[in-house]
Amino acid sequence: MSKDILVTTAWPYCNGDLHIGHIAGAYLGADIFARYQRLRGNNVLMVSGSDTHGTPITVRAEEEGITPREVVDRYHPRFLTLWQKLGISYDLFTETDTENHWQVTQDFFLTHLKNGYIYKDTMKQWYCLDDQQFLADRYVEGTCPYCGYPEARGDQCDNCGRILDAIELINPRCRICGGTNLEIRETEHFFLDLAKLNGPLLEWIKEDKEHWRPKVLNYTRAQLESGELRGRPITRDIEWGIPVPVPGYEHKRIYVWYDAVIGYYSATLEWSHLTGQPDAWRTWWTQPEARTYYFIGKDNIPFHTIIWPGMLIAYGGLNLPYDVPANEYLNVEGRQLSKSRRWVIEVLDVLERYDPDPWRYTLTAIMPETGDVNFTWEEFIRRNNDELVATWGNLANRVLSFAYKHFDKRVPTPGPLDERDVELLRASEAAFDEVGGHIDAVRLRAALRAARRLAESANKYLNEKEPWKQIKTDRAAAATTIYVALQVIDRLKVLFYPFLPFSSQKLHEYLGYEGNIMGRQWVEEVREKERKHLVLRYDGSDIPIRWEATTLQPGQSLRKPQPLFRKLDPKLAEEEVERMIRGSQGA
RNA sequence: GGCGGCGUAGCUCAGCGGUAGAGCAGGCGGCUCAUAAUCGCCGGGUCACAGGUUCGAAUCCUGUCGCCGCCA
């Protein structure tokens, strides 16, 4: 029976390029999950988009003397390129600065207001007398009240790392004009009444959460049970963002955290319109059996297990998250990734020098599912050479080459199977349940390990059967062995497909099949009434494989095989580390 | 200060109540179809430390030490 599954990922801030920590934290896992579920025949929709609002964007814009929209126009297309190069198969990757998203967000706001979940209150904020405006946290700098660092930002001190309330700053300065002519004034804002949602959220968290990761569940439960939730401001005194749809508040904007999570829903609506099925979104949002998965990093847990579910309850009628498989952090060479300290491995950059599948492989093998992990270049090279190339790529290559050379470039016809043949074939059938079960439970490291074990079994099988000896004495026996081995690598092609779609596509072709198993990705321009924006779309409806043991036809013509993966020179590890150290100096 | 996590073979980690595991590194051997790839064997650990629960604990509980996050 086909299930309806909505797969979403965190919405990346559109103010810079993504690094491998982002990929390992959220985006890659979501793609593996989505590709697998599609092969299972489930009704999958995977959506996300660029987060275009908030001070990270405006700060970036000011640093470069351009508009926020120009920042978005630079980085959003780069995200679209990255998804295509890495094979992240969003059915729709859009952005938040669209008429659709604005309208849906304003609808949420007004519905929350009508339902009594939004209230007005005043808060204290710095006001710049020279600029005659309120200053959002990121627009005030001053001395940190805790460590005395003179360059602390209003939201956080970069020196001691503390989260600050801007009004605590000593000797505050305006970041817009540089002046110190500031005073604290009261400003009126709208607040989401999370206290009112505490009870309903507690009820929700108690039922059917056994599949949640312990860390996510414990954290959420602790917050809901002990920490009394407090109202959270939804609006800010800035100019970039979605206007507040209430007369008299035209100069305020909706706070980015509120509109960004609504993107999960608005993107589904946009997809429905683009595909000409205006009601299709209901499949995932209103049918109780539908499941929604949110792939995010651990810093985002409360937004997805408390705030967004609360917003959905307050809105009414929409499905709450089924699972929030949050990942932890990926460090590199023992140091935390940091854009400001220039300690990053940017994905678009490394994809200039390396193929996508080795990254997908390594980042899955060390995916931070239960704790922080450490990526090293040395391990990347080792996993590529010892696991991808030696175990899997070489298995495919040795079998294909043998068949191509000795059996007239065709799949040989097998004779009677012996126990050993049957044993391996059975293991390859069982692997679909084993690997699939792990992916269903979002245990992707375990899933990849299980697939690799089958490849190891196939290598053992060949060494025991020794078809290179059989071919000299008993051609029929060699034919059976090679048929069995081809059958198994054809199945491994499917088993590895969610993780390594690019190389599975190649193998699919070497085995003599036709057709595209990766699906098709394309960028298109969406025109609304007054604005237009770029989106990435995906069509996997023609994919000719399913999540089940394949049966290879004897006599099928093979194509000339090529190695699936390249070996990497171990010296590269040192070079890459040096490149990073050089890049970080002067930061 | 509060909350949480981690501490298992030289290295990276899995196991989370029933006689210590994998990969890599090291040593030896088999094979030669394959990207000198593969396959087999060997050495190597008082599972941080101290108590407790249990017929039985790396696995549960308490405390100590050492790292690391998040929040105050």
For the record, the structure tokens of A83 come out as 């998804």
A225 touches strand B (CB under 7 A): no
Q: Reduce the secondary structure of A437-496 to three states and give it as a string.
A: HHHHCCCHHHHHHHHHHHHHHHHHHHHHHCHHHHHHHCHHHHHHHHHHHHHHHHHHHHHH
Through-space separation of residue A25 CA and nucleotide B16 C1' in angstroms: 25
Q: What is the pLDDT of residue A161?
A: 58
A408 touches strand B (CB under 7 A): no
A458 touches strand B (CB under 7 A): no
Sign of CA dihedral A148, A153, A157, A158: negative
Q: Which nucleotide is closest to A379, CA to C1'?
A: B12
A418 touches strand B (CB under 7 A): no
How many whole angstroms separate alpha carbon A251 and alpha carbon A256? Answer: 15
Residue A481: exposed, middle, or buried by beta-carbon count in 10 A (0-12, 13-18, 19+)? buried
Contacts of A61 (CB under 8 A, 6+ apart): A67, A68, A70, A71
Nucleotides, chain B, CB distance < 7 Å = 3-6, 12-15, 23-25, 30-35, 37-40, 68-72
Report CA Rg, chain A. Answer: 27
A370 touches strand B (CB under 7 A): yes
Q: What is the pLDDT of residue A214?
A: 83
Q: What is the pLDDT of residue A276?
A: 96
Taking the C1' atom of B6, which residue's CA lies nearest? Answer: A371
A469 touches strand B (CB under 7 A): yes
Q: What is the pLDDT of residue A312?
A: 96
Q: What is the pLDDT of residue A151?
A: 79
Listing DSSP states for A270-321 in one string gives HHHHHTT-TTTTHHHHT-TT-EEEEE-BGGGHHIIIIIHHHHHHHH-SSPPP
Spell out which residues of A between 300 and 359 contact strand B, using CB within 7 Å.
Answer: 336
How many whole angstroms separate alpha carbon A240 and alpha carbon A62? Answer: 12
A407 touches strand B (CB under 7 A): no
> Mind listing the pLDDT tens digit of every residue in chain A (587 residues)?
799 999 999 999 999 999 999 999 999 999 999 999 999 999 999 999 999 998 888 888 988 999 999 999 999 999 999 999 999 999 999 999 999 999 999 999 999 999 999 999 988 888 888 888 888 877 888 887 777 777 777 777 666 656 677 888 888 888 888 888 888 888 899 999 999 999 899 889 888 888 888 888 888 888 888 666 888 889 988 889 999 999 999 889 999 899 999 999 999 999 999 999 999 999 999 999 999 999 998 888 889 999 999 999 999 999 999 999 999 888 888 888 888 778 889 999 999 999 999 999 999 999 988 888 889 999 999 999 999 999 999 999 999 999 999 999 999 999 999 999 999 999 999 999 999 999 998 989 989 999 999 999 999 999 999 999 999 999 999 999 999 999 999 999 999 999 999 999 999 999 999 999 999 999 999 999 999 999 999 999 999 999 999 999 999 999 999 999 999 999 999 899 988 888 887 65
A456 touches strand B (CB under 7 A): yes
Q: Which nucleotide is closest to A376, CA to C1'?
A: B12
Taking the C1' atom of B11, which residue's CA lies nearest? Answer: A379
Residues in chain A: 587
Q: What is the pLDDT of residue A587?
A: 54
How many whole angstroms separate alpha carbon A337 and alpha carbon A147? Answer: 24
How many whole angstroms separate alpha carbon A494 and alpha carbon A465? Answer: 24
| Among A398, A401, A396, residue whose Cα is nearest residue A560 | A401
Contact by Cβ (8 Å): A386, A377: no
A386 touches strand B (CB under 7 A): yes
Residue A292 phi, psi dihedral angles, 5° rounding: -120, 130
Residue A167: exposed, middle, or buried by beta-carbon count in 10 A (0-12, 13-18, 19+)? middle
- State how beta strands A235-236 and A232-233 pair: unpaired
A387 touches strand B (CB under 7 A): yes
Whether ipTM > 0.90 holds is yes
Q: What b/e sequence results for A363-393 when a residue is b if at least 16 CB atoms lie within 10 Å of its CB, and e otherwise?
A: bbbbbbbeeebebbbeebbebbbebbbeebb
Of the CA atoms within 13 Å of residue A101, those in its CB half-sphere come to 28
How many whole angstroms separate alpha carbon A525 and alpha carbon A539? Answer: 16
A449 touches strand B (CB under 7 A): no
